[in-house]
């Protein structure tokens, strides 16, 4: 039987890292096994439905190159792949369970349910439904029907015994049935709950493996019972390790619980994020950190999935992104960098102007979003923006006249450099430090602010070489003009 896995997001918000890690593992399993990866939208929680969420989920998958074989946009043999378009199917299946005495209609009002819950809480008992409607007589049912209340459908959970679910990563997990409630499978508005819809769909769509976050482990016995009630074989379940923040608490926004699209904005590369997410709860050999998409596909299997919580390490992600940036060829890097630079300078930048600068950046950036700050001065026309204080720095703060002398001398040398290359520029300027009886650091710092407007920039002489003589001289002269007037 071919492996069929599905990523089944609920469109309630942005696709966050936990969701997409599941999607990645699904995709890897499907690709490793030569099976199918299915996208299904679980939009049965109408109250939490967020319209832009479906598009954001698809965009995140596209960006990461996690292509699906069947889904809402491309269809497939088991369409539709959006649960709100399958309501009739769930209704029929709920009916079937009622007919087989595995489910029942419940007419209890919200007020009654609230009261029962409060009473149980007061008695320090778990606040579960008291199964009032489970044993209504036909007369009582008829009376309830006559009131016109729209009932919900509840599953008839066995009152005793135990339910064993098999988790591919954890083995048998046993639950006592008396700890489970008669959960709702169909809501009064005709929408199913997750506990019905996902099981019916996984069965009808011939899903062989269900990978999902371990927050669903406690629901697994319910799902097992629903499978049994229908007389269906459950798929293989694997509850993936949870992802914790570095403080070992639930991953929060502060530590990386962002939308995956936020990572795109920040200039993370898809391959780097794939590598990083692939190691959150899975390991090749406990050692290897850099694993390509192709290597993941060829090695991925559930036997190496981990159940211990995975800790999100933002520094590691940044480091990895830097590794992937440096592995790009110059054209790829320039293409990836261009939109970030264009955003920073506010206009289009052509590849011809971009290419000479790229080597100066590729070695240095961890995130593409750093590029704007690091390189926008290459594209500024006219005067740069910086303050005299930053130009003078600590060294020249008290002696602007010395700064003026230094800038004048640098400008002279720069004008006369014959071979406009970084080596020649360095050979012309470095000896000036000694001649001016100062250290090279402060001198270069002064020149750096004059020609780039910032105190941290790519290597000075390479930068000057790319900027060109005319601009460098112009900027040195401009810096001179900004100095206080009365120096000797
Ligand atoms: N719709 C569920 C969610 O977004 C899917 C869980 C599952 O994969 O079964 O969490």
Q: Give yes or no: 187 in active site.
A: no
Helix (H, G, I), strand (E, B) or coil at 145: helix
Residue for token pair 């999607």: 23
Q: Which of 9, 14, 191, when mutated, tests ligand 1's pocket best, judged by the most ligand atoms within 8 Å of its CB?
A: 9
Token pair, residue 104, equals: 């029942």
Q: Atom 5, ligand 1: which residue's CA is nearest? A: 8
What the chain holds in terms of domains, given with CATH numbers, is 4-83+244-311 (3.40.50.620), 86-240 (3.40.50.620), 329-379 (1.10.8), 388-482 (1.10.10.350)
Indicate which atom in ligand 1 lies nearest the CA of residue 215: 10
The predicted structure's pLDDT at residue 16: 93
Q: What is the pLDDT of residues 418-463, one digit of tens each?
A: 999 999 999 999 999 999 999 999 999 999 999 999 998 899 999 9
293 lines ligand 1 (CB under 6 A): no
Q: Which of 253, 316, 366, 394 is catalytic?
A: 253
Q: What is the pLDDT of residues 361-403, one digit of tens each?
A: 999 999 999 999 999 999 998 899 999 999 999 999 999 999 9
The predicted structure's pLDDT at residue 1: 84
Q: What is the pLDDT of residues 204-250, one digit of tens each?
A: 999 999 999 999 999 999 999 999 999 999 999 999 999 999 899 98
Q: What is the DSSP letter of 169?
A: T
Classify residue 268 by burial, with Cβ atoms within 10 Å: 0-12, 13-18, 19+. buried
Indicate which atom in ligand 1 lies nearest the CA of residue 211: 8
Tell me how far CA of residue 328 lies from CA of 64, 87, 278, 336, in angstroms.
16, 48, 20, 10
Token pair, residue 151, equals: 């009932």
Which whole number is the average pLDDT over 350-359?
A: 92
Residue 210 CA, ligand 1 centroid: distance in Å? 10
229 lines ligand 1 (CB under 6 A): no
The predicted structure's pLDDT at residue 486: 58
Separation of alpha carbons 332 and 290, rounded Å: 19
Q: What is the pLDDT of residues 54-99, one digit of tens each?
A: 999 999 999 999 999 999 999 999 999 999 999 999 999 999 999 9
Q: What is the pLDDT of residues 464-483, one digit of tens each?
A: 999 999 999 999 999 999 99
Separation of alpha carbons 197 and 205, rounded Å: 12
Of 128, 133, 127, the closest CA to residue 106 belongs to 133
Residue 212 CA, ligand 1 centroid: distance in Å? 7
Helix (H, G, I), strand (E, B) or coil at 244: strand
9 lines ligand 1 (CB under 6 A): yes
The predicted structure's pLDDT at residue 484: 83
The predicted structure's pLDDT at residue 117: 94
The predicted structure's pLDDT at residue 457: 87
Residue 287 CA, ligand 1 centroid: distance in Å? 31
- List the beta bridge partners of residue 154: 104, 184
Helix (H, G, I), strand (E, B) or coil at 240: strand
Residue 259 CA, ligand 1 centroid: distance in Å? 17
Indicate which atom in ligand 1 lies nearest the CA of residue 198: 9
The predicted structure's pLDDT at residue 488: 45
Token pair, residue 97, equals: 């369970």
Share of the chain above pLDDT 90, in %: 93
Of 485, 292, 476, 473, the closest CA to residue 401 belongs to 485
Separation of alpha carbons 374 and 377, rounded Å: 8
The predicted structure's pLDDT at residue 205: 98
42 lines ligand 1 (CB under 6 A): yes
Of 68, 57, 60, 64, the closest CA to residue 276 belongs to 64
Residue 17 CA, ligand 1 centroid: distance in Å? 14
Q: Atom 8, ligand 1: which residue's CA is nearest? A: 212
Indicate which atom in ligand 1 lies nearest the CA of residue 6: 8
Query: 10: pLDDT confidence band, cut at 50, 70 and 90?
Result: very high
Q: What is the pLDDT of residues 285-336, one digit of tens each?
A: 999 999 999 999 999 999 999 999 999 999 999 999 999 999 999 999 999 9
Of 40, 35, 31, the closest CA to residue 6 belongs to 40
Separation of alpha carbons 414 and 84, rounded Å: 70
* Lowest-pLDDT range of 17-31, 149-163, 238-252: 238-252
- Asked whether the predicted pLDDT for residue 113 surpasses 80, the reply is yes
193 lines ligand 1 (CB under 6 A): no
Q: Which bin fits 191, alpha (ψ -120 to 50), beta or left (φ > 0)? A: beta
Q: What is the DSSP letter of 259?
A: B
Residue for token pair 């000694």: 434
Q: Atom 7, ligand 1: which residue's CA is nearest? A: 212
Task: Return the CA Rg of the chain.
Answer: 32
Indicate which atom in ligand 1 lies nearest the CA of residue 12: 4
């Amino acid at each position: 039987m071919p492996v069929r896995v599905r990523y089944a997001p609920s469109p309630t918000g942005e696709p966050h890292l936990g969701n997409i890690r599941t999607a990645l593992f699904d995709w890897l399993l499907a690709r490793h096994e030569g099976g199918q990866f299915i996208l299904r939208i679980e939009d049965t929680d109408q109250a939490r439905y967020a319209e832009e969420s479906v598009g954001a989920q698809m965009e995140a998958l596209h960006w990461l190159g996690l292509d699906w074989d069947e889904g809402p946009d491309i269809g497939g043999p088991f369409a539709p792949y959006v649960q709100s378009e399958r309501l009739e199917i769930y209704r029929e299946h709920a009916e079937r369970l009622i007919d087989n005495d595995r489910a029942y209609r419940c007419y209890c009002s919200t007020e009654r349910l609230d009261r029962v819950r409060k009473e149980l809480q007061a008695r320090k008992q778990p606040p579960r439904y008291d199964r009032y409607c489970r044993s209504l007589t036909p007369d009582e049912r008829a009376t309830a029907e006559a009131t016109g209340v729209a009932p919900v459908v509840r599953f008839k959970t066995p009152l005793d015994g135990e339910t064993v679910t098999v988790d591919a990563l954890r083995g048998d997990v046993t639950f006592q049935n008396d700890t489970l409630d008669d959960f709702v499978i169909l809501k009064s508005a005709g929408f199913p709950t997750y506990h019905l819809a996902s099981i019916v769909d996984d069965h009808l769509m011939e899903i062989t493996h269900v990978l999902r976050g371990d927050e669903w482990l406690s629901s697994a016995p319910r799902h097992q019972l629903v499978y049994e009630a229908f007389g269906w074989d459950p798929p293989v379940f694997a509850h993936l390790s949870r992802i914790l923040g570095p403080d070992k608490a639930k991953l929060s926004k502060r530590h990386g619980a962002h939308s995956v699209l936020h990572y795109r904005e920040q200039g993370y590369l898809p391959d780097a994020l794939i590598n990083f997410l692939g190691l959150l709860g899975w390991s090749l050999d406990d050692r290897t950190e850099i694993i390509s998409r192709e290597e993941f596909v060829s090695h991925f299997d559930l036997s190496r999935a981990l159940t211990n919580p995975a800790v999100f390490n933002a520094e590691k992600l940044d480091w990895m992104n830097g590794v992937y940036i440096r592995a790009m060829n110059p054209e790829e890097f320039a293409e990836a960098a261009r939109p970030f630079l264009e955003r920073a300078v506010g206009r289009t930048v052509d590849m011809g102007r971009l290419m000479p600068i790229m080597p100066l950046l590729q070695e240095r950036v961890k995130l593409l979003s750093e590029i704007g700050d690091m390189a926008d001065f290459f594209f500024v026309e006219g005067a740069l923006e910086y303050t005299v204080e930053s130009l003078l720095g600590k060294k020249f703060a008290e002696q602007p006249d010395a700064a003026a002398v230094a800038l004048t001398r640098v400008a002279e040398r720069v004008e006369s450099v014959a071979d406009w290359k970084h080596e020649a520029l360095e050979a012309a300027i470095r000896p000036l430090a000694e001649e001016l009886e100062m250290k090279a650091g402060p001198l270069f710092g002064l020149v750096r602010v004059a020609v780039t407007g910032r105190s941290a920039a790519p290597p000075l002489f390479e930068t000057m070489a790319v900027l060109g003589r005319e601009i460098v001289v112009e900027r040195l002269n401009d810096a001179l003009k900004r100095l206080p007037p009365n120096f000797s």
